[in-house]
């Protein structure tokens, strides 16, 4: 027979918001599934331990002994917190912390409820991201790509391409319709925009895919950038009429090479993405000349 604790844990795991319970000694006592997905932090590595440094902005200041009376009164209002994902990228979340008390009124811990705020358009898009171009049309991307490639051909800096496909796009289009797929792709674009470097461009490329023009100077740096964006995409939880869809992406990365054409560069990025998708998705493939596969 299922006991009340198991029922409560199952109920909290079904929520879209992250739930964290921290005891009076600063140890993490509960960490639900949504909290894992938002931060990348596995509950098995958190429970009964102090919060890791990456989560200090989210949980470190919420210990009961450190909450002043004024802070206690404001705890339920919620505030924007920039915590850090296990993969290293910044994750802005809206967090609300409340004090927990026992039957005698003594403080026994805190409960923090949080959710990503990638859907808030006013947020800056990553460090220096205000200089990045997000949501460019395919025509605009083509013009930018031709200009960057011409500059490289004339002795300018190296660059790379990230061809990104959302693994669930085709199935979502088939089961929920074009409107649901379009809403999901718009959300993914906003989330990916948080991870762009200054001067980069992101836009739709074809029906269900994206292209990033990156100014990373080497295949290794491009792969690391692709890995970060892939992890960021997994924070873009999508809901449609109550259905919750967890998102992953397949990424093909190609660093421009001497004496190749723009068409060959695009083909290498596309082939790498398709190879990733065919292998089950949720990873990156670096086009020939780099590592074969880097799992996300």
pLDDT (tens digit per residue) in 215-235: 998 999 999 999 999 988 887
Q: What's the whole-model pTM score?
A: 0.57
What is the Cα–Cα distance from 200 to 215, expressed in whole angstroms?
7
Q: Are 89 and 228 in contact (CB under 8 A)?
A: yes
Question: How does pLDDT run across 132-160, given as a tens digit for each residue?
Answer: 677 778 889 999 999 999 999 999 999 99
Of 4-13, 58-67, 131-140, 171-180, the least confident: 58-67
Asked: is 129-295 a CATH 3.30.70.270 domain? The reply is yes
**At residue 53, what are phi and psi to the nearest 5 degrees?**
-55, -35
**DSSP assignment, residue 49?**
S
- Tokens 């836009």 locate to 203
Q: Where are the domains of the chain?
A: 4-116, 129-295
What is the Cα–Cα distance from 19 to 85, expressed in whole angstroms?
16
CA 232 to chain centre: 2
Element (H, E) at 22: strand 18-23
Q: Are 251 and 293 in contact (CB under 8 A)?
A: no
pLDDT band at 117 (very low <50, low <70, confident <90, very high): low
Q: Are 294 and 284 in contact (CB under 8 A)?
A: yes
Q: Are 242 and 256 in contact (CB under 8 A)?
A: no
What is the Cα–Cα distance from 212 to 132, expressed in whole angstroms?
11
Contacts for 278 with CB less than 8 Å, ≥ 6 apart:
none
What is the Cα–Cα distance from 140 to 145, expressed in whole angstroms?
9
Would you identify the CATH topology of the domain 4-116? Beta-Lactamase (3.30.450)
């Amino acid at each position: 027979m299922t006991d009340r604790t198991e029922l409560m844990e199952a109920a909290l795991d079904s929520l879209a918001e992250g739930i964290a319970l921290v005891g009076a000694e600063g140890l993490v006592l509960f960490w639900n599934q949504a909290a894992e997905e938002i931060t990348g932090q596995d509950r098995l590595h958190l429970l009964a331990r102090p919060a890791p440094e990456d989560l200090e902005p989210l949980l470190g200041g919420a210990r009961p002994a450190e909450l002043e009376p004024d802070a206690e009164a404001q705890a339920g209002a919620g505030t924007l917190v920039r915590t850090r994902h296990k993969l290293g990228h910044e994750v802005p979340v809206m967090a609300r912390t409340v004090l927990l008390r026992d039957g005698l009124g003594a403080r026994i811990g805190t409960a923090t409820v949080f959710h990503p705020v990638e859907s808030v358009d006013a947020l800056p898009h990553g460090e220096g991201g205000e200089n990045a171009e997000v949501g460019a049309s395919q025509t605009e991307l083509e013009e930018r790509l031709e200009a960057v490639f011409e500059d490289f051909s004339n002795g300018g800096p190296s660059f790379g391409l990230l061809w990104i496909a959302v693994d669930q796009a085709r199935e979502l289009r088939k089961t929920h319709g074009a409107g649901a797929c379009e809403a999901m792709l718009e959300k993914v674009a906003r989330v990916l925009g948080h991870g762009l470097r200054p001067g980069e461009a992101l836009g739709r490329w074809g029906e269900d895919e994206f292209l990033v023009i990156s100014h990373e100077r080497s295949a290794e740096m491009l792969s690391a950038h692709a890995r970060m964006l892939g992890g960021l995409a997994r924070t873009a939880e999508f809901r449609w009429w109550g259905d919750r869809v967890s998102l992953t992406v397949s990424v093909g990365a190609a660093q421009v090479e001497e004496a190749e054409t723009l068409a060959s560069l695009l083909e290498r990025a596309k082939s790498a993405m398709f190879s990733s998708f065919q292998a089950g998705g949720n990873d990156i493939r670096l086009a020939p000349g780099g590592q074969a596969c880097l799992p996300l």
